Structure 1
Amino acid sequence: MSTAAVPELKQISRVEAMRLGPGWSHSCHAMLYAANPGQLFGRIPMRFSVLVLGLVRVPLYTQKDRVGGFPNFLSNAFVSTAKCQLLFALKVLNMMPEEKLAEALAAATEKQKKALEKLLPASS
């Protein structure tokens, strides 16, 4: 493959992105790294990416229904403390306002509560 076949990547502003029109799709991705003092098998330094065994794309938006996007992502099952680590990193890095994090977490919790109510019989 020649280098001419690879499109040039460049960062554009939100205003420029919105002017691109309906033939273009927009996305926002962030890669987070969190150091972990633990060691795997007593000798391999652990990293956040090792704990989740791959790249995770986190939707940093909430849809108009106030459930889709980030709240829906938070309602999925996470391994161990990955959910807490994600929320902590988003807060510490100021990637999302604290109020929005709280709203998304509340919506995710409500979604999980409704799902459990469907599965478990009502106690009388």
Structure 2
Amino acid sequence: MAGSRKIELTEALALGSEWRHMCFAILYAPDPRMLFGRIPLRYAVLMEMRFDGRLGFPGGFVNSQKRTLEDGLNRELLTKLGEAASAFSVERTEYRNSHAEDTTHVVAHFYAKRLTLEQLEAVEAGAPKAKDHGLEVLGLVRVPLYTLRDGVGGLPAFLENSFIGAAREVLLEALRDLELVEPGSVLNFKRHSFRQPSLNS
């Protein structure tokens, strides 16, 4: 959401009926494997390629009047990810932050759910059978949490993609706060100016 502002959850829940609520989950799992036998993967973090070509997190609109945010989010995860999402449930304790967009009256709530690597791989395997696969969701992708020797490959190159709303900022904060990357490395990514390709490039 361009021009969004962070707000506290209590403030977000007190917004008027003209506001719509969206909930999204950062799904991650420890991954002890090594890329090329020498680059530690550390964690697997899932994002999705959306119908508009932007990267975001699985989730969607929820009806905060009829159910809790978490109930709505878990229902959305089943729709976006398929039956493997029924093996876990996102709880209020896994809430991270909210971002409000005043011009559209939409507020997005973000959660982070730690899975086992087996659970995450089951989500990846089952996602093509999900209701929204090929429609709202074009596919899942893992975030590379390393930087190659050229200083560009890996996470720096990944961050040059187009992200929806606050997804890029939320991703970087989660990588730092959950210690999914080496301490201090996220600050370097935030300071770096990434060039977004134009339609003519």
TM-score for both structures, normalised by structure 1: 0.51
The residue type equivalent to 1:46 in the other structure is L
**Contact 1:60/1:69 (CA < 8 Å) preserved in 2?**
yes
Q: Pairwise mapping of residues 82-101 of structure 1 onto structure 2 (< 5 A)?
A: 82-101=167-186
Moved more, 68-77 or 44-53: 44-53
Counterpart of 2:141, as a letter, is V
Match of 2:62 in 1: 40
Using the TM superposition, give the Cα deviation of residue 98 of structure 1 relative to its aligned residue in structure 2, in angstroms: 4.1
Gaps of 5+ in 1: 1-10, 20-25, 120-124
Question: How far apart in 2 are the matches of 1:67 and 1:85?
Answer: 21
2:49 is aligned with 1:30: no
Count of aligned pairs between the two proteins: 95
Q: Which residue of 2 aligns with 1:76?
A: 161
TM-score normalized with structure 2 length: 0.35
Deviation at 1:39, TM superposition (A): 4.5
Q: Could you tell me whether the CA contact under 8 Å between 1:71 and 1:105 is conserved in 2?
A: no
Task: Indicate how the Cα distance of structure 1 residues 12 and 104 shifts in structure 2: closer, same or farther if over 3 A, else same.
Answer: closer
Structure 2 distance, partners of 1:93, 1:66, is 23
Partner letter of residue 72 of structure 1? A
Q: Which amino acid is the alignment partner of residue 162 of structure 2? A: A
Q: Is the 8 A contact 2:33 2:40 kept in 1?
A: no
Shift of residue 90 of structure 1?
A: 0.7
Larger Rg: 1
Deviation for aligned residue 1:58: 0.4
1:112 matched to 2:139? The reply is no
- Cα offsets for 1:88-123 (capped at 9, x unmatched): 11111111134211223334x2x417x67xx7xxxx
Q: Secondary structure at the match of 1:75?
A: coil
2: CA distance between counterparts of 1:12 and 1:85? 24
Unmatched tracts of structure 2, length 5 or more: 1-30, 48-56, 81-109, 111-135
- Given that 1:91 and 1:98 are in contact with CA atoms closer than 8 Å, whether structure 2 keeps it comes out as yes
TM-superposed deviation, 1:73: 0.6
Is the strand fraction higher in 1 or 2?
2
RMSD, matched Cα: 4.3
Paired with 2:190 and 2:152, the residues of 1 have a C-alpha distance of: 10
Identity of aligned residues (%): 30
Asked if 2 retains the 8 angstrom alpha-carbon contact of 1:67 and 1:104, the reply is no
Whole-Å separation in 1 of the counterparts to 2:32 and 2:159: 29
1:72-91 deviations in Å (ceiling 9; x for gaps): 11111101111111111111
Report what 1:8 is aligned to.
none
Q: Secondary structure at the match of 2:162?
A: coil
